Amino acid sequence: MEKYYTFEVEDYIVDDFFIRWVLNNSDEDSKIWEHWLGNHPDQIFKIEQAKNIVNSIKFNQVSEVSRAEVNSFIELVKQEHLSKQSVSGNSVPSLWRFNKKWIGIAASLIAVGTIFGFLVFYKNQSFNKTLSTNVSELGIYQEKTNTGSSPILIYMVDGTSVILKPKSTLRYPKTFLADKREVYLSGEAFFEVHKNPKQPFLVHSGEMITKVVGTSFTVKAFKGDNDFKVIVSTGKVLVYAQPGSKEKNEEDIVKPIALIPNQQVIYHRDKLVLIKQDLPKPSILSQEETRKTFNFKGTPLTEVINTLKEAYQVDIVYNANAFSSCQLTATLYDDPLYDKLTTICKAIDANFTIVNDQIVITGRGCSRLY
C-alpha cells in the first residue's frame, strides 16, 4: 500500500485495486483502505476526487478496446480535466467535450494485472448527451449530533475541520458543490475552514448566515436562544441576518457585518439586528495567542496534548506511559487541529484515528527525543 502515498488523482482512477474498492466496496477492501487512510490523512482529498470520478461513470463490459485508446483517454483526463478540478474534487470530467470516439472511455481496472477489464466505451453514442456535473453523492447530506458531554471533531472532504459542541447538530454534504460549500448548524461549533477563494464556505444557522473563504471562527446558534453569536479567531468573516424566509437568495439578505480577529457579532433575533463588538481579551485560538501556545521547543508530548485539549476542548486518548519519553519541537500555530495532529503523529511515529467521537493516538512510543 505504500506506493499510494505518492499517487495523484489520475493515478488512482487507473489503479485496479482502487477501482475495485470503489465499485465493489467489499468489507475486506474497505478495511484495508480505511486503515491506510488513517495513516495517510493527507491523501483524503485526492481519494475523494478519484472516487467522485469513478462513481460518476457507468461501466459496461466491452469486447474490444485497444491499449492506445485507453492510454489516450488517460492522457486526456490528466491534461484536460484534473487540472481544472476544484480543490474539493466536486467537478466531474465533461467527457462529452471530446470527439465522439472518446466519449465515455473510463478505465475500471478490476482484472488483476491488466488494464483491459471493464471500460466505458460509447463510440456510437449521440453527441447531444449531457453529463451531469453532480456526482452520485452530491446533494446528499449527512447529519452529526453531539449527544455527549465533550466536543467532537468532524473532518470534511474539503479539509475543513469542525469542533462540534455538546447538544449541537451539524448537517453537511458528503461532496460540496463546485462554487460553494454550505453547511447547517443548530447549536455551537468551532470551524477551521480550508481556504479556497473559488468556493466560499457558508454556515446556515436559522436566520443567520456566516460566510468565509478560509478562516477560523465559532458560531453559537441554539434554536431556543434569543441571541446568536459569531466569534472570529483568524481571518475575515461576513455575517448576514436573514429573518423570515429560508428561501431568500444571497443578494436579498440584509445587514451584512464584517468581522476581523478578536471581534464578535451578536444577532438579536427579536430585534432583527446584528451588533458588532470587540472581545475583551484575545480568543484562545487567535493567531496572537496560538503563536505563544503552539510554539513547542523540546516540549513533552503530555504537555503538547494538554495544550490541544485545552484549546479545542476535545477528548484525546493515548497511552501516556508509552509516550512519556516523547518530546516535540514544532511550530503549529498556523495549522488547523487535524493538521496539528498529523504533524505531531509523524514526529513521534504514531497514528491517530477518530473512534466513538474521541481522537485516539496509537504507536510504539519513544525511545529517543524528537
Dihedral angle at the C-alpha atoms of 183, 185, 188, 189, nearest 10 degrees? -10
Residue 118 backbone class (left: φ over 0; alpha: ψ -120 to 50; beta: rest)? beta
Q: pLDDT by residue (tens digit) across 72-112? A: 555 555 454 444 444 444 444 443 344 433 434 443 333 33
| Per-residue model confidence (pLDDT) at position 365 | 86
Higher pLDDT: 70 or 99? It is 70
Q: pLDDT by residue (tens digit) across 326-347? A: 999 999 988 889 889 999 999 9
Higher pLDDT: 92 or 70? It is 70
Mean pLDDT taken over the chain: 76
> Could you say which of 69, 87, 120 is where a domain stops?
120
Higher pLDDT: 179 or 99? It is 179
Is the pLDDT at 305 greater than 80, yes or no? yes
Is the pLDDT at 154 greater than 70, yes or no? yes
Residue 203 lies in a domain: yes
| Per-residue model confidence (pLDDT) at position 71 | 56
Total structural domains in the chain?
3
- 273 & 313 share domain: no
Residue 133 lies in a domain: no
Contact 286, 262 (CB under 8 A): yes
Phi, psi (deg, nearest 5) at residue 173: -80, 155
pTM over 0.85: no
How many angstroms separate the CA atoms of 145 and 152, rounded?
10
Closest to 326 (Cα-Cα) out of 267, 370, 358 = 370
Question: pLDDT-based confidence at 138, cuts 50/70/90?
Answer: very low
Q: pLDDT by residue (tens digit) across 27-37? A: 888 888 887 88
| Per-residue model confidence (pLDDT) at position 163 | 95
Beta-carbon neighbour count of residue 65 at 10 Å? 19
SS3 366: coil
Q: Residue 312 is inside which H or E element, if any?
A: helix 301-312
Residue 129 lies in a domain: no
Q: Which domain holds residue 178?
A: 141-278
How many angstroms separate the CA atoms of 50 and 12, rounded?
6
- 208 & 149 share domain: yes
